[in-house]
Chains A and B, each alone.
Chain A
Amino acid sequence: MTPAVLYALTGLGLFVLGLYALIVHAHLLRKILAFNVMGSGVFLVLAGLAGRTASGIPDPVPHAMVITGIVVAVAATALALSLMLRVAGATGRARLPDEHER
């Protein structure tokens, strides 16, 4: 097993772990954290699976993508956190009410 595959598998593991946490945890902060874990997993896959050119230099494109992805993730997290605070302010709880589920 090459290190690249190991990274990729770890990335997938993080993605699944994050997904699990997203589903089972009710608290919004935990859900937001779960997203960040999932995001990191995807980034790890992207970086880990990056091809190598003939001279052994890594392909820069996935790295550019990861950086873009991180920027997006930060923005999304910021929005999520501020929205969470507003939800907590309006409903008194930092979790989603269940009755609208489905």
Chain B
Amino acid sequence: MDTAVWLQSGLTAPILLPLTGALLAFVMRRRATPIGLLSVVALLGAVILQVPSLFADGPQRLAIGGWGAPLGVDLYADGLSVAMLLMTAVVGLGISLYAAAYFRDTPARGQAFWPLWLLLLTALNALFLSADIFNLYVTLEILGLSAVALTAIAGGADALVGAMRYLLVSLLGSLAYLLGVALLYHAYGTVDIALLAERIAAEPATWAAMGLMSAGLMLKTALFPLHFWLPPAHASAAAPVSAALSALVVKGSFYLLVRLWIELFGEIAGGVATLLGLLGAAAVLWGSIQALIQTRLKLLIAYSTVAQIGYLFLAFPLAVGTGATAWSGALYLALSHALAKTAMFLVAGNLLRFGGHDRIADLDRVVQRLPLSMAAFALAGVSIMGLPPSGGFIGKWLLLEAALTEGRWGWAIVIILGGVLAATYVFKVVGYAFTQSENPHQAQPVPATMEWVAFALAVAAVLMGLIVSQPLIVLEIGNPFGIQAEVAVQ
């Protein structure tokens, strides 16, 4: 067989596998669960197979159907893309296994879940692989629409209202982004990122596009103060959906913003990077404090997501001057947050199933009654707080290093303070898990799969703090953080 075809199937597999699965699961409703699980396992296999060729050949570009840029739609995979794909596949597998057990008692919801969930994975993978800003718009929309529909699956007024608000926000973000695309296309006659990077110049059209696209993506990523839609949506969805939204979906738009920033806007942005960083800092503090005063576990976790997203945005100002350290820090944080936050939301799902509520003060000795789930929550919490050893610690260490190398104390203090606040809200939950509640409740059994999946993901988040060099090497294949931006200037 021709090697080009191999390559082609390799890069397109992460998109085609879940898409096929989604269609099949939609048509064969009764077999949706096995189809879904099979697709996700195949997806993970396909992504893992990408890693050796990435190491051997470096970043890969594929012109689908032989139509290259500027007319065709190119796929591009470097270390950053593959790292995001891996994160999606691993977390996706965890969520899928969990969902299979979670929806066992409500088959109708399960049948609605699988096609949408596979579609969401399709959109995410396509987003991580696309090299053209219009195609990225399409993936953003598919991602948004499937995420909204998934949120609504939970039924009930809270979930529906949350989904509706989410939909409005998502559409608004996409339209702002699309208007930016229109401006860039008008100014430079292409939507291919690499070509744009060669042509882009500091002029009003670029600035307008940067403003529109960044604002749209910030809205979708729920950066403070545009985060208002996230907690109700993430907290009201079904547990596997909450996990997917917090762990993966917001990372999609964040990834896109990072790409655009590094390749297109970073050099001409000026003070905007500082603005993004300031918003990030505000998000860290505001999100953490909000998390701290929540009385319901799922809302606490959702606000923690707001805070953790803030951390990611600290990289924008820190990358000016330190470059790769800050970006790898933020992305390492994003990857480990995906694992840890999934584990947390899945644990919240277990506790909801177990006690019928998620009031933190009434957790009622779950540490004895669901020890595995609480262990998962605590381990995930270690990563969220950024204590060693955990992926979160590595991310924070790199960010701190970037901040202190340049003597930027303000950012360093925010990074530290956010960690302390995170510890406070995580241990608020853990503390109440030890005490006896005044309102005891009837306990329902929780399937073992649901506990073990959460635990495994939390352990993975911790392990990311011990096995560090390999993920960092993968992230930097193809030099996504460095050289391109400089080439673009010349």
A and B touch in the complex (CB under 8 A): yes
- Chain A positions near chain B (C-beta within 8 angstroms): 8, 15, 19, 22, 28, 31, 35, 38-39, 41-42, 45-46, 49-51, 59, 61-62, 65, 68-69, 72, 75-76, 79-80, 83-84, 86-87, 90-91, 96-97, 100-102
**A-B contact list, 8 entries, CB within 8 Å:** A15-B175, A35-B171, A38-B172, A49-B182, A65-B185, A79-B149, A83-B164, A100-B165
Give which listed residue, A38, A49, A75, A97, contacts B161 with CB less than 8 A.
A97
Bound CA span A21–B149, Å: 24
**Chain A residue contacts of B149, Cβ below 8 A:** 79
Bound CA span A83–B71, Å: 36
**Chain B residue contacts of A61, Cβ below 8 A:** 70-71, 185, 191
Give which listed residue, A41, A46, A76, contacts B171 with CB less than 8 A.
A76
B5 at the A interface (CB under 8 A): no
**Chain A residue contacts of B141, Cβ below 8 A:** 72, 75-76
**Chain A residue contacts of B148, Cβ below 8 A:** 79, 83
Provide the main secondary structure of the chain A interface: helix
**Chain B residue contacts of A62, Cβ below 8 A:** 182, 185
B8-16, B88-96, B152-160 - the one binding chain A: B152-160
Number of residues on chain B facing chain A (CB within 8 A): 33
Closest Cβ of chain B: how far from A52's Cβ, in Å?
11
- Chain B positions near chain A (C-beta within 8 angstroms): 70-71, 134, 137-138, 141, 145, 148-149, 152, 156-157, 160-161, 163-165, 167-168, 171-172, 175, 178-179, 181-183, 185-186, 189, 191, 228, 232
Closest Cβ of chain A: how far from B108's Cβ, in Å?
15
Known: A31-B168, A45-B179. A83 touches B163 (CB 8 A): yes
Is B160 within 8 A of A42, CB to CB? no
Bound CA span A51–B179, Å: 16
**Chain A residue contacts of B178, Cβ below 8 A:** 42, 69
Closest Cβ of chain B: how far from A22's Cβ, in Å?
7
Residue of A nearest to B144 (CB): A76
Known: A51-B186, A76-B141. A35 touches B157 (CB 8 A): no
Is A91 within 8 A of B157, CB to CB? yes
Shortest Cβ-Cβ A-B pairs, 3 listed: A49-B186, A90-B157, A46-B182
Residue of A nearest to B225 (CB): A102
Residue of A nearest to B177 (CB): A42
Residue of A nearest to B166 (CB): A83
Is B172 within 8 A of A83, CB to CB? no
Closest Cβ of chain A: how far from B162's Cβ, in Å?
8
Residue of A nearest to B149 (CB): A79
Residue of B nearest to A35 (CB): B171
Bound CA span A79–B183, Å: 28
Bound CA span A69–B134, Å: 10
Bound CA span A22–B173, Å: 13
Is B160 within 8 A of A86, CB to CB? yes
Is A83 within 8 A of B167, CB to CB? yes
Known: A72-B138, A90-B157, A100-B232. A84 touches B164 (CB 8 A): yes
Known: A72-B138, A90-B157. A38 touches B175 (CB 8 A): yes
Is A87 within 8 A of B175, CB to CB? no
Is B161 within 8 A of A100, CB to CB? yes
